[in-house]
Amino acid sequence: MGSQTFGERSSSLAGYAWMSLAVLIWASWLVLTSSGRTTTLAVIDLAGFRAIIPTVVLAPLLWHHRRTIAQLGAARCLLLSAYGAPFSLLVGHGLSIAPVAHAGAVVPGLMPVFAVALAYVFLGERLSRGSFLALTLILSSAAAILLRGADELAVHDMRLGHLLFLLGALCWACFAVTIRAFEIPAFLGTALVGAVSIIWLLPLWIVSDLSNIAETHWTDIAFQALFQGIISGLISIYAFGRALRLIGGQAPVLSALTPGVAAILAVPALGQVPQLPDALALGGVVIGLVILNIGLKLP
């Protein structure tokens, strides 16, 4: 009995460790994708790494499931790919003109909000009273950030960044709802995201003048390729999947810490210290996400 308890405790600790790793990677992605602040590479370069590298690694999986992919059809594959290049380009450009703390509140904060809304409309899923209150808290807290600007001269640009964050969150919701509706395995969904993104992103990447690879030092290229393609594109998904298996519904609850962790990392990495109203609103988003995830797991 004692050994079983010890085994369960070890599994729980391992689950929390895997989930902590996933949260750290997600938060780091927001910081390290801040174009012009942490890298000289362009946003399209980062999006290319995030699409091409996981696709190459998971190519055997794509071939093995080619019949399943054919049955999904082009429209569903396009919905999945919204979390690929569109998400990376939208959030990446938004991060070039708005702070990471704002991205942390709006992107991870509104991703589940949009997902719940789409699931309600297209899948007929009902919303509990607790979930509704949590969504209200998230929306009001995110709105507090969206409706204010730290510098009057930068308000226009910052609100453009906020709009890009909103569209990025919607892209993730399209991916998440499609994954759930058709029970697509996480790694297969990731491979499809990259493969479909490559179809239109690669020609644009090659022929346009948007890339900065030629002017970037090889160490920066290698680091971003490793982080965007392997760590963010593959390891974070594996870590989240392991956490789900080991601690179940606690994993999504812990994912609510992503906005706060991103804001903390942005202080030493980018010198972005959230103002008090932004910090309070960010706290509201985190609390709302925790309540929402707990509510969604309750019967």
| C-alpha dihedral sign at 250, 252, 253, 255 | positive
Tokens 């994993």 appear where? Answer: 251
Distance CA 281, CA 163 (A): 18
* pLDDT at residue 73, rounded to an integer: 92
Q: Are 276 and 95 in contact (CB under 8 A)?
A: no
Q: Are 26 and 260 in contact (CB under 8 A)?
A: no
What pLDDT digit, counting tens, does each position of 238-257 carry? 888 788 778 876 777 788 88
pTM confidence score: 0.85
In the chain, % of residues over pLDDT 90: 36
Of 29-38, 112-121, 207-216, 244-253, the one with minimum mean pLDDT is 244-253
Helices (H), 33-154: 43-57, 59-64, 66-81, 85-95, 100-122, 129-146
What pLDDT digit, counting tens, does each position of 21-73 carry? 999 999 999 999 886 667 889 999 999 999 999 999 999 999 999 999 999 99
What pLDDT digit, counting tens, does each position of 263-283 carry? 899 899 888 888 888 889 889
Distance CA 51, CA 286 (A): 29
Spell out where the chain has E strands.
Answer: none
Give Cα separations from 245 to 18, 23, 184, 240, 242 (angstroms).
10, 16, 16, 9, 5
Residue 209 pLDDT greater than 50, yes or no? yes
